[in-house]
């Protein structure tokens, strides 16, 4: 049986239609039985549809630089944390 954690791990591929038929069936069965995951999937789909229809808006260079540094620091901390925990998050 698929758990909510399993569903969330596959959500991006599900929305991108990159999962095989068996996995898609399991995910769709799960969202018919789990109202919380249905809301997450539906909200994410709607958000993607809204943003796909928008023109890109460039962010200021200094904001992009701060964002990239923050993301790099977060990813480095996550990598360091997974090494310490034996690969478990």
Average pLDDT, the chain: 88
User: pTM for this one?
Assistant: 0.60
Which pLDDT value is given to residue 82?
A: 59
pLDDT digit string, tens, across residues 61-82: 999 999 999 999 999 988 887 5
Instruction: Look at residue 53 in the predicted model and tell me its pLDDT.
Output: 81
Question: Is residue 20 classed as helix, strand or coil in its secondary structure?
Answer: coil
Cα→Cα distances 85→34, 69, 74, 77, 82, Å: 31, 24, 16, 12, 5
Sequence spans of domains, the chain: 1-57, 58-89
């Amino acid at each position: 049986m698929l758990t909510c954690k399993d569903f969330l791990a596959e959500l991006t591929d599900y929305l991108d239609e990159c999962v095989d038929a068996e996995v898609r069936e399991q995910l769709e069965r799960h969202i018919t039985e789990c109202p919380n995951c249905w809301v997450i999937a539906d909200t994410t789909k709607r958000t993607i549809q809204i943003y796909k229809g928008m023109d890109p808006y460039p962010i200021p260079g200094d904001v992009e630089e701060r964002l990239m540094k923050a993301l790099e620091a977060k990813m480095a901390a996550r990598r360091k944390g997974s090494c310490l925990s034996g690969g478990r998050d």
